[in-house]
Structure 1
Amino acid sequence: MASSLFLLLPISLVFVIVIGVFFWWAIFAGQFDDSQAGGDSILLDNDTPEASSSERADANQKEGESRQPATGHSA
């Protein structure tokens, strides 16, 4: 029993130190800075493709034409 402790205790201490070093590195490397972005990116995904600049210009021109007031005189 005592001989197994002489083997298992140093192995477990080395294992704990290695885990601590990796955890320390992860904290200071910024691994936990933005934990929300991954989940939010799924919800905020843009499923519709953006219109090209010519399509936007056509839409803006049509909007402008429909908003112009009539030039006729009212009596």
Structure 2
Amino acid sequence: MRKITLSEVLDAADLKGFVTFVVCRTIPAFWIPAHTVTFLLPHEYRVLMAAMLSICLGAILVLCNPRS
């Protein structure tokens, strides 16, 4: 068995892609406003809005996948 280093794990995880796409683009442009709207809704509609946001997350992940 060979020893796996932390730098190998970080390279395999594609942290640069994570930071540039997720942290710099989707969080400020989509998730913060979406959750702001969600928590402004009455309690009865928050679960429905959370379900809609999970569908949006799936669509974002499928449409922006660089490997496809």
1 or 2 for the larger relative contact order (CA 8 Å, sep ≥6)? 2
TM over 0.5: no
Greater fraction of residues in helix:
2
Larger radius of gyration: 1
TM-score normalised per structure 2? 0.32
TM-score normalised per structure 1? 0.30
